[in-house]
Amino acid sequence: GDFYWRTVSRDNVTSIFGKNQEARIFDPEDESHVFQWLLEETYDAKGNYVVYCYKSENLENVSENSYEANRSKAANKYIERIQYGNHSPLSPGQDFQSVNWHFEVVFDYGEYELPPSDKKTPYKSEQEKKEKPWKNRPDPFSTYHAGFEIRTHRLCRNILMFHRFEELFQDPILVHATQFKYEETPTVSLLKSVQSTGYRYEQKKYLTKSLPPVEYKYTEFKPKESHFQPLLQENDRGLPGLNLPPNYLSIDLYGEGIPGVLYSDGTTTQYWEAKGDESTLNPTLPGGEQEGSGKGTVKYGSPKLLQNFPIDRLVQDENRTLTDLAGDGRMALVVSTTGYSGYYQYDPQRDTWQSWQPFEG
């Protein structure tokens, strides 16, 4: 039968996932093979609702090139709008078609034009959007981890914020836009800039004010310019035993940005700290400091015996993992076995491991 997911938070906020087919990503050849239930509604005990609407792939403006032949292209869904700010409380199961939403976030895939003309609103009805179909990206791609093809043909060009109040105008009024600019090629589309623009409709025209764009640059991958670099100690000797797994791990224990090498066999634990690349003398710097060229060989210091490493030191065991657990650049040794699970937090400033912290059930 047909079903969907519902969750209730500790604050009594209910979330509905995939109640309708428009909010599910499923196999076009088998609707019961659902890969993802998308968030469709959230509401609290006071009747405040947030509604999420999605747009199904309809193949508009999709090319008929040979690489599009024999593909399943209709599975994907794209977030289209988020509506909230209902004027009066709503009840579960109530029809949302006639609700007067005060706030609406619209995701533009090429249907809208910015800056808007002097008409009151660039907001488009479903019929108006058909007059200018969404754009096809030049670099469509597919994923298959769902067990079927999910192909992406669209790029979000703008995120538009509309207000709908009778005190302003009957039609929704554009108040803000987040604009995305891309470098588009048939190989890959890269985000070039993001800009925030505010809008105010006054005297039958829109006034705008923008923040400076945030611009992005990318390091180009040049495989022909790369070359083999051996792992060497400061004495130009190789690190012993690297070809004898599984006792060696490449890990940035101190959070310095370059991974070192950790050895642990359950009894002995030691660490080779990365010392950066070979440096060259730069007379333009004060005191003639050394400056790395960025192209030299990474060298490693002498092995340091980690005497205060936690007792669960067999790190290559599948139940033990060294990871940045808190996302703060500090390593933690996570242990998860039958009967107990938790972690030891490393403090690089003091070069110590904190006591065992069990995970709360």
The answer to whether residue 312 sits within a structural domain is: no
Asked whether residue 175 is domain-assigned, the answer is yes
126, part of any domain: yes
Instruction: Name every residue whose Cβ is closer than 8 Å to that of residue 242 and which is 6 or more positions away in sequence.
Output: 231, 248, 261
- 295, part of any domain: no
Q: Decide if pLDDT at 240 tops 50.
A: yes
Residue 136 maps to a domain = yes
Q: Tens digit of pLDDT for each residue in 173-189?
A: 999 999 999 999 999 99
Within a domain: residue 335? Answer: no
Residue 213, amino acid:
P
Question: What mean pLDDT comes out for the span 121-136?
Answer: 79
In angstroms, the CA 207 to CA 171 distance is: 17
Which domain does 70 fall in, by range?
A: 5-215
Name which of 24-38, 245-259, 288-302 the model is least confident about: 288-302
| 173 domain-assigned | yes
Confidence of residue 169 (pLDDT cuts 50, 70, 90): confident
Tell me the C-alpha distance between 133 and 109, whole Å.
9
Q: What average pLDDT does the segment 73-77 reach? A: 89
Query: Does 212 score more than 80 pLDDT?
Result: yes
> Cβ distance 326 to 281 under 8 Å?
no
Query: How many domains, the chain?
Result: 1
> Which one-letter amino acid corresponds to residue 353?
W
What CA–CA distance (Å, rounded) separates 27 from 278? 53
- Whether 322 is covered by a domain: the verdict is no
What pLDDT does 296 receive? 58
> pLDDT tens digits, residue range 321-351?
888 888 888 899 999 888 888 999 998 888 8
* pLDDT over threshold 80, residue 168: no
Averaged pLDDT of the chain: 85
Share of the chain above pLDDT 90, in %: 42
**The most confident of 79-93, 129-143, 233-247, 338-352, by mean pLDDT:** 79-93
Q: What is the pLDDT of residues 91-118, one digit of tens each?
A: 888 888 889 899 999 999 999 888 776 6
Strands 14-17 and 39-43: antiparallel
Alpha-carbon gap, residue 310 to 312, rounded angstroms = 5
